[in-house]
Amino acid sequence: MFLFGFLKFFPPISGWFDIQIQQSHLPHVAIIAGKVTEMITGTLFLLPWLWKTLSPKSRDLLLLLACSILFTQMGVAIYVHLQPGVPASVLPLGIKPPVIPVVVLLLGLLTAFGIWKEWRAENTGDTPHP
């Protein structure tokens, strides 16, 4: 996620992203917000592995925060893909159906579900199954 946000600051990806936002009739501020929040989300996903002194609870909370932001981003991405004015040529891999955002959304759901499953097991005294 961090890399995708970072790359959106440089041509040709920056131009493609700008067209996506403009043709979706989203506010102009969504251009910078999309780029920065992707970098923040990527950082939140990386922090638990880079910051070794985090408690397991803090690690889980960072991951859930990252998943929450990711859900919003992928919701917007799905919306953008479904807009008739957005040409396939400016979308990732030129794919008009929102395949990539849906897959990323599902991966985020799997991550959040895994954390929820661990918490549930801790609260009931069970150990999670692999």
Percent of the chain exceeding pLDDT 70 equals: 95
Please tell me whether the peptide bond between 12 and the residue prior to it is cis, using omega within 30 degrees of 0. Answer: yes
Instruction: Please report where in the chains the tokens 């929820």 appear, as a residue.
Output: 116
Tell me which residue of 120, 92, 107 sits closest to 41, measured CA to CA.
107
Predicted confidence (pLDDT) per residue in 9-38, tens digit = 999 999 999 999 999 999 999 999 999 999
* pLDDT bracket for residue 125 (50, 70, 90): low
Q: Taking the C-alpha atoms of 25, 30, 60 and 92 in order, what is their torsion angle to the nearest 10 degrees?
A: 70
